[in-house]
Amino acid sequence: MLTSVFASLGRRVARHPRWFVLAWVVITVLGFALASFGVQGQSLFERLSTGAPGVPGSESQTAQNILTRTSTSGSSLSLLVRGLDPTSSGVATVMATMNTELAAIPGVTSVFDPYVVPGGVTNAAAAPLLGRSGDGFLVVVDLDPALSKDANTTALDRVAARLAQVTRELTAAAPDVSGIVGGSSLITAAITHQVEDDLRTGEAIALPVALVIMVLVFGGFLAASMPMVGAIASIAGGLGSLLFYSYLISMDASVVNVVTILGLGLSIDYGLLIVSRFREELHKVLDAEAGRRPRRRRGDGAVTEAVVRTMSTAGRTVAFSAVTVGVSIAGLMVFRPDLLRTFGAAGVTVIVIAVATALTLVPALLTMTGRRLAKPGLISKIPGMRTALARTADVQSEEGVFSALATRVQRRPWWVLGGVLVVLAVLALPLGSMQLRNSMTELLPAGSTQRTYLSALADQYPSSSSPTVVIVAQTSLAEAQTWSTSLTSVAHVTSVDAPTAQGGYVVIGVRVNTTDPGGAVARDVVHELRALPHPFPTWVTGQAAVQIDFTHALLDRAPWAIGIVVLATFVLLFLMTGSVVIPLKALVANAVSLSAALGVLVWVFQDGHLSGVLDFISTGGVETYVLALVIAFAFGLAMDYEVFLLSRIKELHDAGVADDEAVRLGLQRSGRIITSAAAIIIVVFAGFVAGKMLVIKEVGFALAVAVLIDASLVRLLLVPATMTLLGRWNWWAPKFLTRIYDRLAITH
């Protein structure tokens, strides 16, 4: 039944290939156009947001919602001037002119600097605006909160441009003067622009290298180009769909890159499998017709038959693999944080697009190309390339590197099993000391202007920087003032800001003796503050509080997410194999493989190893949502390769081939595809490690390591060893489940 569906789809694509190609050309152009220009003049990247991921209904998120709802202040920008003595002659004159011009900008409500205070810099009231080191000062410009979105943007642009001119005007007073313009709007812009730059960087690295790998796999540019065309169409469709999602939910900047690299990698993987199987089937069809009748022209029945066979086998495998990956990523939607739900929904959408290109666009291109794919490519005519391609390009022989590897594994399966498990256990050791973080501006690269601005602000103007912890209280100002005096007794609390009334609530800022707003000290303070007795409702927020609530939400729903994914995966693999042993073995192998990859992630990013090579500054932990993403995505990709391998082994087993021989031949037939697909997807992920955003580096690195471990140690060694040891028990299932399998089996 299922096989006939894919055969029918293959036949339809083979009959009308140009219509399918035309449809995808339209989708590709439309997707890139929507992502670049939007539907209302706003591109996808202009619609992205940023900030610490919150948890709906949590204490920290409730406090943030209250602060946002009751805020009466508008946007603001600041100029941090450095390398200048504030008392230098001529500085006050320059600043007076600047203040007049800034105040004249529509939407500006106030301009503060040390020179507007009566008596200027000598007045004690100006101290908060003077650098502690004595070589700089701060200018703060506030905007009207009633401004429309467009008017606010225009005002911010004009203020930023005017502030940027000030340092040039102050060079007469201090030749070494410098300045940094900063603010929340500029921080958001810096993050979204960095995401866009990293996306371009990743694609610029990944696509050319992936093409080279596929040329070696297929022995020519023609066959290699087809998965690449599918990947480009997938990227366009994915970006277009993300724009649609941005109108439904607030989309974090990191979603675009993470989801795009997933779609890019999967579309290449699936296209690789389809093209490889088509060439195999085409050779079989042409060999069968040789000597019986003349070869027909391109687009003939032989090509159509090869497409139909490909869709009935590899097409089914691709669809099944996409379902298993989709189930894994859909598990993210079980969690409460909106960020993880967004990753789950967007990830599933991109997977659907990737599998759609593999099942329609790629077969259409194969049909139009026809018999040419059965011939050696032009690259084989280059001196020396024929020998190299004989080792790398796909061949029809049942014997080769992977069958030889399987034979060696089957001779000493216990040794291989033990050795692989020891290696994976050693790699997983750092996982025991993992610390979770919810970073904000720390995700920006070290050389970022806005990161430098925030660091200098906290160091030189502590009263102007945000407090580490914020308490929102529902009480009177007088009662809050009385209660706030007890907060200084909490360990590590250095001072408490004067409570301020805000929209029926009182806001209290708590400053902590730490430079790390998400570190252990800040988290301890949050726990202590939440445990303090209070005669009125309070809500504690801040980076550490958000981090605590996010981690709790993750752990709270993790059993449900894991249970759903495990159950669904078990059922899918059972319907594919008819065995309960193989699904259990696959789940255990994936868990061990994932632990090893996460251990390497902790060793590199938490402990700071390779920070110089990978160009990052460790935050002292792993980003909380990166952990969830890596588990979901890496598990899905591992199942991807598991399906690739099992589908060929099951095909041979059903044909009556002996168990050990089925494993050996199955690895030979799928090993080339698995290793090639893994190499390509590692390149894709490694391309994004070359970017600057820390969270993208972590995701890209962790997934690249996970795929490397899975495609080498697990698929090529651990799986053949365990299947050899289990023998006929691989296919065991209770009788009542066997009867269910007979009715519902997903078979060729």
CB count in 10 Å sphere of residue 183: 21
Closest CA to 453 of 77, 126, 134, 74: 77
What does each C-alpha distance from 727 to 660, 692, 723, 731 come to in angstroms? 7, 48, 6, 8
pLDDT tens digits, one per residue of 57-92: 899 999 999 988 888 888 899 999 998 888 888 888
**Pairwise CA distance, residues 360 & 353, whole Å:** 11
Q: Quick one: pLDDT at residue 419?
A: 94
Task: Tell me: pLDDT of 296 over 50.
Answer: no
Quick one: fold of 1-43+219-379?
Multidrug efflux transporter AcrB transmembrane fold (1.20.1640)
Domain boundaries, the chain: 1-43+219-379, 75-186
**Pairwise CA distance, residues 503 & 72, whole Å:** 8
Highest mean pLDDT among 2-11, 353-362, 378-387: 353-362
Average pLDDT over residues 226-243: 87
**Pairwise CA distance, residues 239 & 259, whole Å:** 9
Q: Quick one: pLDDT at residue 299?
A: 45
Please name every residue paired with 164 in a beta bridge, in sequence order, or none if there are none: none
Task: For residue 589, give the 3-state DSSP assignment.
Answer: helix
Number of helices and strands in the chain (H, E):
26, 11
Q: Quick one: pLDDT at residue 127?
A: 86
CB count in 10 Å sphere of residue 90: 12
Name which CATH class applies to 75-186. Answer: alpha beta
358 alpha-carbon distance from chain centroid? 22
Q: Quick one: pLDDT at residue 48?
A: 74
**Pairwise CA distance, residues 110 & 377, whole Å:** 70
Q: Quick one: pLDDT at residue 378?
A: 53
394 within 8 A of 214, measured Cβ to Cβ: no
DSSP, residue by residue, 373-418: GGSPPGGGGSTTHHHHHHHHS----S-SHHHHHHHHHHHSHHHHHH
699 within 8 A of 626, measured Cβ to Cβ: yes
Tell me the two tokens of residue 280: 């195999």
Tell me the two tokens of residue 285: 């069809």
The pLDDT confidence band at residue 297, using thresholds 50, 70 and 90, is very low
Three-class secondary structure assignment of 447-501: CCHHHHHHHHHHHHCCCCCCCCEEEEECCCHHHHHHHHHHHHHCCCEEEECCCEE
Greater confidence (714 vs 671) lies with 714
**Pairwise CA distance, residues 634 & 406, whole Å:** 25
**Pairwise CA distance, residues 217 & 210, whole Å:** 10
Q: Quick one: pLDDT at residue 195?
A: 76
pLDDT tens digits, one per residue of 446-504: 778 888 888 888 888 887 778 889 999 999 999 999 999 889 889 999 999 999 999 88
**Pairwise CA distance, residues 480 & 478, whole Å:** 5
Average pLDDT over residues 532-559: 90
Beta strands in 147-292 (DSSP E): 178-182
Q: What are phi and psi of 610, to 5 degrees?
A: 70, 15
Closest CA to 374 of 280, 290, 296, 293: 280
Three-class secondary structure assignment of 434-446: CCEECCCHHHCCC
CB count in 10 Å sphere of residue 103: 12
What does each C-alpha distance from 715 to 111, 417, 650 come to in angstroms? 64, 12, 15
Mark out the alpha helices in 147-290 (DSSP H runs): 149-169, 184-218, 221-246, 253-289
37 within 8 A of 29, measured Cβ to Cβ: no
78 within 8 A of 460, measured Cβ to Cβ: no
Residue type, 606: Q
**Pairwise CA distance, residues 197 & 355, whole Å:** 27
pLDDT tens digits, one per residue of 587-612: 999 999 999 999 999 999 999 898 88
Task: Tell me: pLDDT of 94 over 50.
Answer: yes
Mark out the alpha helices in 16-90 (DSSP H runs): 17-37, 59-70
What percent of the chain has a predicted confidence (pLDDT) above 70?
Answer: 93
CB count in 10 Å sphere of residue 704: 24
Name the burial class of residue 70, with classes exposed (0-12), middle (13-18) and buried (19+) by CB atoms within 10 angstroms of its CB: middle
Helix or strand run (H / E) with residue 141: strand 136-143
**Pairwise CA distance, residues 133 & 124, whole Å:** 16
Catalogue the long-range contacts made by 24-27 (C-beta closer than 8 Å, 24 or more residues apart): 24/233, 24/357, 24/360, 24/361, 24/364, 27/233, 27/236, 27/237, 27/240
Task: For residue 392, give the 3-state DSSP assignment.
Answer: helix
Phi-psi region of 551 (alpha: psi -120 to 50; beta: other; left: phi over 0): alpha
Q: Quick one: pLDDT at residue 740?
A: 84
pLDDT tens digits, one per residue of 668-680: 878 878 888 888 8
Average pLDDT over residues 396-420: 84
Q: Which residues of 575-589 are buried (b: 16+ CB within 10 A; e: fewer)?
A: bbbbbbbbbebbbeb
**Pairwise CA distance, residues 418 & 461, whole Å:** 58
Which range among 30-39, 176-185, 381-390, 686-695 shows the weakest confidence by mean pLDDT? 381-390
pTM recorded for the entire structure:
0.84
pLDDT tens digits, one per residue of 135-144: 889 999 999 9
The 8-class DSSP code of residue 577 comes to H
Q: Which residues of 441-461 are buried (b: 16+ CB within 10 A; e: fewer)?
A: bbbbbeebebbebbebbeebb
364 within 8 A of 649, measured Cβ to Cβ: no
141 alpha-carbon distance from chain centroid? 36
